[in-house]
Amino acid sequence: MFKGYAGRILHVDLTTSKIWAEEPGESFYRKYLGGSCFGVYYALTEIPANVDPLGPDNVITFAVGPITGAPISGAARHNVSAKSPLTGGIGTSEAGGYWAPELKKAGFDAVVINGKAEKPVYLWINNGVGELRDASHIWGSYTKEAQEQIRSELGDKYIRVAQIGPAGENLVKYACISNELAHFNGRTGMGAVMGSKNLKAIAVRGTLPIEFEDPEYLKALAKSGVEKVKSLSGYQGFKSLGTNVNADELYAANCIPTKNWTSGIMNGVENLLAAEWTNSYIKPGTCYACAQSCKRNICNTDAVDPEYGGPEYETVGMCGPNLGITDKLDIIKINEVCSKYTMDTISFGGTVGYAMECFEKEILTLKDTDGLALNFGNAEVVIKLAHMTGKREGFGNLIAEGTKRMSEKLGGSAMDFAIHVKGKEFPAHMPHNKSSLALAYATVAFGADHVSSNFDASIATDPIPYQLQSFGLMKAQNPYQLNDEKVRLYWLTQRAYSLFDTASVCCLTFGFWTIYDFSDLTNAINAATGMKTQFLELITIAERRLAMMRVFNAREGFTSKDDDLPKRLFDEPLSGGVSDGLTVSRSDFDRTKKLYYEMAGLDLEGVPTKAKLVELGLDWLIQS
Amino acid sequence: MLIKIRFLGVLSSNLGSKKIVADIDPDYGALQAKIVDLIGDTGVANFVVLKKGVPINKETDIIAENDEFCVFIPISGG
């Protein structure tokens, strides 16, 4: 068996309480590597077609990667995958934090869970042994109280807890999973799947050694990352400002989603620039062994509990200007409430923004909203609505369903400005000025996503980063233009991002403008495992994951029609500022989508061709 | 010729985010050189230059007196 891995996968049947360990062997690890690729593999092999994603037959997989546990920046990610209750297709979501290395030290590379417990339980994994324990006493608790209780009753303050709050228990369609209270598998509703299984948490503790092939190389790589952050002010800047640097770039282009994607700019948005946060309420935090430290922590205010962490850019965008809000403390408070209930702030912000527009257009009235005046900018109402949504109380019960289901209920013209793809709300980057995102949002198998490919500013630099040049992307491109070169940008880097999710590493640390590049990643995997792999094999595994996700969706009835954007993006120009008048070109989109399908080996319905499946060694999927 | 340069995002953390007035020749190469000079030894080699929110096109855009440019690094996906 390769080194670096635990070599064992824990299976749990919650219906029968049966727990067993699988040792799949080298060929499995070589073919699927880890992380999301493991999760998608088990989704395809363990989940029957067309099951209710919130029923007992759904299977949820937690998985780590080959270098997890090495003390390297950006190597502490874990993936959660299952059929998504938000989209009905594949659900998959990444998190940083501290849970992943603990799972491997506890003796497992993945945990695969099916069935439904009769009453609330949590899974306790300790040094090679899994055990189900009663969670009735913490069901309904916020995550902080639940984590404290679990650590207290198990007698170890170093136990790492991946868990759901009340939103997961109440099956909010975009409920997420937190670890250490402030790190999240945010997207596609994986927390609701846990809730549907009466599974409150997975607590892990491990002290087993992880044997690496070349630990000295890994130590040297870790040290080089620390030195870069120490010595180069560019990396220090990212540590200081975090992902909120996105706000600066998008502010300059007037392309921060505003008032449900009707504009890219509003008065007061200057308050949300990166330095404004660092100069007031935010300080750097981190994940396990990561020198980059882009995690946001709260300081200088008693308005919230700092243990729930601070807002990343996506939260700032979607719960800020998208809701007409530009006050930092309001956004911090919304972030805290979503965190303790475990609700994805992107989907929550997207859904509330949609509801606000419906309210202002009188499609929704005070009678519908339980008397809440859902006007853009009304932060007090948003905070109240966050609580109601997490509890599924009153109008919050509709917000808990997400944008797509709400728009289907309202019907008519209200469908035209529901901003989602496959039921998943957009992140806070606009395809209007990042044109390749039009393709990415439309065609990513698990719905609109901003961390599945590089986008347009990265290829607008002079010179183009060497990492992109190594993919054959040589010529600077206009970010606003959706052309053939942008299809290359999307497809070539989509495989790279799929590799990050498969190797369970962070795209803010490995990849393009980052501490480590692709040579470092390949070398690290070899130093961890002794696999003697090369980048070509790794990128093929990553493509295998992409193809498997599309096969999963095809099995669930998805077609090319599901790879489309909301009408608003094509037909309604942005209003105000220098982005005034911008739309996405329908003809460019249709043409480049077709080219993308051909480039990726997909047929006219977006399904991998037989030849592509054979090429990827996925002939076992041809029947399905 | 006087122009203004404003650094955003990561670059603003050590260069500040206030507009810097610079005296350059009216061509793209001079602008690029001035930005590289201002950035100095930060480990940053690739950046985007915006004029009125849009990346400048070095082949077609004209650089004129009092033009304002925003400079940033595309983090993560860009």
Q: SS3 for A329-366, per residue?
A: HHHHHHHHHHHHHCECHHHHHHHHHHHHHHHHCCCCCC
User: Residue B17 is nearest to which of A275, A453, A577, comparing CB atoms?
Assistant: A275
Using the predicted structure, report yes or no on whether residue A582 has a pLDDT greater than 80.
Answer: yes
Residue with tokens 């899974």: A123
For A225, the enclosing helix (H) or strand (E) is helix A215-231
Residue B76 has pLDDT above 70, yes or no: no
**A79 is written with which tokens?**
């993936």
How many C-beta atoms lie closer than 10 Å to residue A475's C-beta? Answer: 8
CB A114 within 8 A of CB A123: no
Rounded to a whole number of angstroms, the distance from the CA of A296 to the nearest CA of chain B is: 15
A408-424 confidence digits (pLDDT tens): 999 999 999 999 999 99
Measure CB to CB from residue B48 to each of A278, A460, A508 and give the nearest one. A460
Q: Which residue has the tokens 């070589």?
A: A30
- Amino acid identity of A80? V
Task: Give the span between the Cα atoms of A393 and A384, in whole angstroms.
Answer: 11
Residue B45, pLDDT > 80, answer no
Residue A163 to residue A181: CA distance in whole angstroms: 9
Confidence at B78, pLDDT banded by 50, 70, 90: low
The predicted structure's pLDDT at residue B52: 86
Mean pLDDT of A272-293: 95
Q: How far is B26 from chain A (nearest CA, A)?
A: 18
Q: Please give, rounded to a whole number of angstroms, the shortest distance from the CA of A7 to a CA of chain B.
A: 32
In angstroms, the separation between the Cα of residue A33 and the nearest Cα of chain B is 23
Nearest of A186, A171, A193 to residue A58 by alpha carbon: A193
What ipTM was estimated for this complex? 0.90
Chain B residues within an 8 Å CB radius of A513: 46, 73-76, 78
The answer to whether the beta carbons of residues A139 and A200 sit under 8 Å apart is yes
Cα separation, A125 vs A204, whole angstroms:
5
CA distance A565 to chain B (A): 20
Kindly give the interhelix angle for A379-391 and A345-360, rounded to the nearest 10 degrees: 120
Cβ A241–B45 below 8 Å, yes or no? no
Q: How far apart are CA A560 and CA A443, in angstroms?
A: 9
**A63 CB burial (10 A radius; 0-12, 13-18, 19+):** buried
Residue A11 pLDDT > 90? yes
Cis peptide before A463 (omega within 30 of 0): yes
Tell me, rounded to whole angstroms, the distance of Cα A350 from its chain centroid: 15
> A534 vs A32, A75, A424, A519, A528, CA distance in Å?
14, 19, 35, 9, 14
Strands A295-298 and B20-23: unpaired
Confidence of residue B69 (pLDDT cuts 50, 70, 90): very high
Q: Bridge-partner residues for A79, per DSSP?
A: A63, A94
A293 touches chain B (CB under 8 A): no
> What is the rounded average pLDDT of the residues A380-387?
98
- Cα–Cα separations (whole angstroms), residue A475 to A155, A228, A472, B35: 58, 28, 9, 21
Q: For residue A133, give the nearest of A19, A212, A29, A218 by alpha carbon.
A: A19
Q: Count other C-beta atoms under 10 Å from residue A481's C-beta.
A: 13
Minimal Cβ distance to B43: which of A232, A454, A462: A232
- Share above pLDDT 90 across residues of chain A, in percent, rounded to a whole number: 94
Average pLDDT of the residues in A115-142: 98
Comparing A21-25, A342-346, A488-492, B6-10, the range with the smallest average pLDDT is: B6-10
| Lookup: tokens for A276 | 């404004």
Q: Test B53 with A238 for CB contact under 8 angstroms.
A: no
Residue A138 pLDDT grade (very low, low, confident, very high; cuts 50, 70, 90): very high
Q: Count chain A–chain B contacts defined by CB atoms under 8 A.
A: 137
pLDDT averaged over every residue in chain A: 97
Identify the pLDDT of residue B73.
Answer: 85
Task: Grade residue A514 by pLDDT with cuts at 50, 70 and 90.
Answer: confident
Angstroms from A275 CA to nearest CA on chain B: 7
Write the CB contacts of A224 (distance below 8 Å, at least 6 apart in sequence): none
Contact B45, A463 (CB under 8 A): yes
Three-state DSSP class for residue B28: helix
CB within 8 Å of chain B, chain A residues 525-564:
none
**Residue from the list B13, B42, B74 with its beta carbon closest to the beta carbon of A457:** B74
Q: Of the ranges A135-144, A368-377, A471-480, which one carries the lowest mean pLDDT score?
A: A471-480
Q: Is the pLDDT of residue A624 over 70?
A: no
Please tell me the distance from the alpha carbon of residue A569 to that of residue A588, in angstroms, as a whole number.
13
pLDDT at B47 over 90: no
- Going from the N-terminus, what domains does chain B have, and what CATH number goes with each? 2-72 (3.10.20.30)
Q: Which residue, chain included where needed, has tokens 């959706």?
A: A482
A207-253 pLDDT, tens digit each: 999 999 999 999 999 999 999 988 887 788 899 999 999 999 899 99
Q: How many CB atoms lie within 10 A of CB A506?
A: 24
What distance in Å separates the CA atoms of residue B44 and residue B42, rounded to the nearest whole number? 5
Q: Please give the single-letter amino acid code of residue A105.
A: K
pLDDT per residue as tens digits for the range A43-76? 999 999 999 999 999 999 999 999 999 999 999 9
Q: Which of residues 109-138 of A touch B (CB under 8 A)?
A: none
Q: Best mutation site among A452, A513, A514 for testing chain B: the one with the most B CBs within 10 Å?
A: A513
Region A377-404: what's the mean pLDDT?
98
Burial class (CB in 10 A: 0-12, 13-18, 19+), A108: buried
Note the Cα A528 to chain centre separation in Å.
25
- Tell if the CB–CB gap between B9 and A237 is shorter than 8 Å: yes
- Give chain A's domains with CATH numbers: 9-205 (3.60.9.10), 215-425 (1.10.569.10), 436-621 (1.10.599.10)
Which of A232, A249, A579 faces B8 most closely, judged by CB atoms? A249
Q: Which residue of A has its CA nearest to B69?
A: A252
The neighbour count for residue A4, using CB atoms within 10 Å, is 30
Q: Which residue of B has its CA nearest to A514?
A: B76
Query: Residues with Cβ < 8 Å from B59, sequence gap 6 or more?
Result: none
Task: Read off the pLDDT of each residue in B70-78 and give the average, rounded to a whole number.
Answer: 80
User: Which residues on chain B place their C-beta less than 8 Å from a C-beta of chain A?
Assistant: 8-14, 17, 32, 41-50, 52-55, 57-58, 70, 72-78
- Mean pLDDT of all residues in A350-365: 98
Report the DSSP pairing between strands A160-163 and A199-205.
antiparallel
Q: How many CA atoms lie within 13 A of A400 on its CB side?
A: 24
Rounded average pLDDT over A35-41: 98
pLDDT on residue B15: 86
Q: Which residues pair with A78 in a beta bridge?
A: A95
Q: Which of B11, B53, B76 sits opposite A579 (nearest CB)?
A: B53
pLDDT confidence of residue A414: 96
Q: Is the pLDDT of residue A462 over 80?
A: no
Query: Closest Cα of chain A to B33: distance in Å?
Result: 12
CA distances to A402, A442, B11 from A507, in Å: 27, 21, 20
Query: What are the strands of the beta sheet with A18-22, ordered from one edge?
Result: A18-22, A9-13, A110-114, A60-63, A78-83, A90-95
A337: which 2 tokens? 């409430």
Q: Is pTM beyond 0.95 here?
A: yes
Interhelix angle A35-46/A535-555, rounded to 10 degrees, is 30
